[in-house]
Each structure stands twice: as C-alpha cells, then as structure tokens.
Amino acid sequence: MTEKTIRVFSGVQPTGNIHIGNYLGALKQFVALQEEGKCIYCIVDLHAVTLPKDPAELRENILDVAALYLAIGIDPKDATIFVQSDVPGHAELSWLLTCCSYTGELSRMTQFKDKSRGGDSAPTGLFTYPLLMAADILLYDSDVVPVGQDQKQHIELTRDLAVRINNRFGDDTFVVPEGRFLKEGARVMALDDPAAKMSKSAESEMSRISLLDDESKIKKAIMRATTDSDGEIRYDAENKPGVSNLLSIYSAFSGRSTALLEKDYAGQGYGALKKDLAEVVVLALRPIRRQYDDIRGSQELALVLKDGAERANGIAEGVVQRVKDKFGLGTKRL
C-alpha cells in the first residue's frame, strides 16, 4: 500500500437529527476519503453551543454523532475520531485567527446573515463561528476538507486567513486547505420546500430524512415531497426544484446519473419515482441503522473518543506551538 500523504479533516455539529443532506454532502465523502488520506473527523461541540443547548441533550448528541461515524464505516483504527472541546488548541488558535480577521469579512458570511437575521442582538459566537471552523482546519495542517456546498464560503475564508498569515509570517505557518464537494448531494434541499436547504433545525419532520428515521417515516416523507403539476420527470433545478431534488437524492444513493434516471422514468409519474426512491433510501440506511444500534450503547465508543483526543492533541499541540512561535507568543522558546 502506498503511504497516504494528504491530510483530510472535517466536522459535524452534535445538534441532533443528522439527515441525508449531511450524509450525501459530507459523511459519505468521509468514508471514501479514508482510501486517499489520513483522516481526522471531529465532533464540533464548541460550534454547537453558539446557540444555547441543554447540557444533557448535548452529551447524548455527541455520542450519537460518534456512533454514526462508526456506523457509516469510518474505521477508528485508521481515522482519528474525537470531540473538539477535548483539544484546547481549537479555542487557542481560534483567538489568533480572530486577531487576523476583519469584521467586514465576517459580516459577509451568508450563514451568519441567515441565522442572525440582521439584528444587532445576534450571539457573538455566531459571528465568530467561521474563525473557530478555520482554526479546526488549520490546526491539523489539513489539505482536504470534505463538506456540503453551504460551507464553501467558510472554506474560502479559511484559505484567505491562511494566505494572509503566511504572507506575514512565512509559508511554513499554515497549509492552505481545499474544500471537497461532491457533484450530486452537495446541496440536498428540504423535501417539503425545495427552495430551502434540508436542515437539522427545520420544524417540520417531513422536511428531512434523518439517518435514524424508521422505514415508515422515510416512505411517508418521500411520498409527500413537494413536486410540481406538469408531471414530467426531468432534471431542471431552476424550474422543477422538487423533482430535481428527488432525482439528485436518487442519483447520490444509487450512483446512477440523473440523465439515466430521466430515461428510466420516461413516461412514468411522480408516484413511481417516489416509490422507488423510498425503497432505495430505506435499503441504503438500513445497514447504518443496524450498525448504529450495535455501537451506540457499547463501551467502545468512549475508548474511541479518548484515543482520538490523544492523537488529535498530539498533532494540535505541535501546530499551536509553531504558530505561537511565529507570533512571538509565550515563553517556551526562552
């Protein structure tokens, strides 16, 4: 086997309801990239508290994400799986990046604009959130960051910060990372409102399919998905967003292109497409659900996270020290 030289990093927030958008946009890539690189997958709990969270629920949600990482096929012997707040370097590096960023560039982040809705009482953590994300990535000298389309702007900011700081302190300060986005699945839309991204926090359960939903719920959400009235199964994201979203999801799960799916379903109605899609999704999620049920209550989970935190800290401490040296901080070098 050839030595894996690229470093892959990504994170998921422990905020419940992990859905097929998270899976198709990000998690599926996490699994595939194990072939290509040394992978580090984080459960970003510090990001989760940008909005108030119930502590007991947060603790459960952290374990849920860890179990899902294992259930989808991330191998903890090879990949590092850990919880962000177990590694102090994230918060430390985040401060240094804060001091190299501008309020203007943070104000332009669309996720901040959407979540704060323009008011001046938006939580400060929501505003500085992208800097913590940049710290997550830069802390591990990451080359590749698999994420959904909605994170593109945050990755660009991370790259801008890395280049800016490298220009000041030298190119050996940070590795400039690249985002990795899939062709199908990078932006899965809500089933009941194809103008909105499928989201963990949407009120309606029918807007999403969570990875742990039971089979009848999966079928119900797909059969009820918003389409249109012209009855033609054709991929046209602009004019037929509902049907196009279903075709994208189908394509991402089956590996069949949307063009081939259009041919398969020529002359058939939306009912047939939805029925088959429900079957495809149920079959794809069934093994994940089974694995998850085995892992979630096991002792293994805590051990994986403890080992992961040690490995992650081993890398992070070195990088934080390197960056502090560049800034002239601390006394380690005296």
Q: How far is the CB of 198 from ligand ATP (least distance, A)?
A: 4
Binding to ligand LTN in span 95-154, by CB under 6 A: 133, 136-137, 145, 147, 151, 154
Q: CB under 6 A: which stretch of 6-14, 93-101, 218-226, 306-314 binds ligand LTN?
A: 6-14
Length of the chain, please?
Answer: 334
DSSP-assigned letter for residue 204: -
Residue 226 in 3-state DSSP?
coil
Q: Is 25 near ligand ATP (CB under 6 A)?
A: yes
Q: How far is the CB of 284 from ligand ATP (least distance, A)?
A: 15
What span, in angstroms and rounded, lies between the C-alpha atoms of 334 and 319? 18
Q: Is 197 near ligand ATP (CB under 6 A)?
A: yes
Residue in 7, 28, 47, 187 binding ligand LTN, rule: CB under 6 A: 47
Q: Is 200 near ligand ATP (CB under 6 A)?
A: yes
Q: Nearer to ligand LTN by C-beta: 44 or 186? A: 44
User: Is there a contact between 52 and 21 (Cβ–Cβ < 8 Å)?
Assistant: no
Q: 145 contacts which partner out of ligand ATP, ligand LTN, none, CB within 5 to 8 A by kind?
A: ligand LTN
Rounded alpha-carbon distances, angstroms, from residue 49 to 58, 115, 278, 294: 9, 14, 34, 28
And the tokens for 129? 């959130």
Which residue, 231, 248, 236, is CA-closest to 189? 248
Q: How far is the CB of 198 from ligand LTN (least distance, A)?
A: 12
- Which residue in the block uniquely carries the two structure tokens 């909105």? 196
Q: CB under 6 A: which stretch of 69-77, 194-202, 265-273, 313-321 binds ligand ATP?
A: 194-202
Q: How far is the CB of 219 from ligand LTN (least distance, A)?
A: 28
Q: Is 156 near ligand ATP (CB under 6 A)?
A: no
Q: CB under 6 A: which stretch of 16-24, 75-83, 281-289, 306-314 binds ligand ATP?
A: 16-24
Backbone angles phi, psi at 87, to 5 degrees: -125, 105
User: Is there a contact between 116 and 126 (Cβ–Cβ < 8 Å)?
Assistant: yes
And the tokens for 140? 């591990």
- Read off the amino acid at residue 189: M
What span, in angstroms and rounded, lies between the C-alpha atoms of 221 and 226? 10
Q: Is 21 near ligand ATP (CB under 6 A)?
A: yes
Say how many residues touch ligand ATP, by CB under 6 A.
19
CA end-to-end distance (rounded Å), the chain: 43
Q: Nearer to ligand LTN by C-beta: 80 or 258? A: 80
Q: Which residues are catalytic?
A: 115, 197, 200
Q: How far is the CB of 20 from ligand ATP (least distance, A)?
A: 8
- Which residue in the block uniquely carries the two structure tokens 């058939």? 268
Q: Is 11 near ligand LTN (CB under 6 A)?
A: yes
Residue in 162, 188, 273, 312 binding ligand ATP, rule: CB under 6 A: 188
Rounded alpha-carbon distances, angstroms, from residue 291 to 252, 296, 308: 21, 9, 20
- The residues pairing with 219 across neighbouring beta strands, listed in sequence order, are none
Q: Which residues of the shown chain bind ligand LTN in the complex (CB under 6 A)?
A: 9-11, 13, 44, 47, 133, 136-137, 145, 147, 151, 154
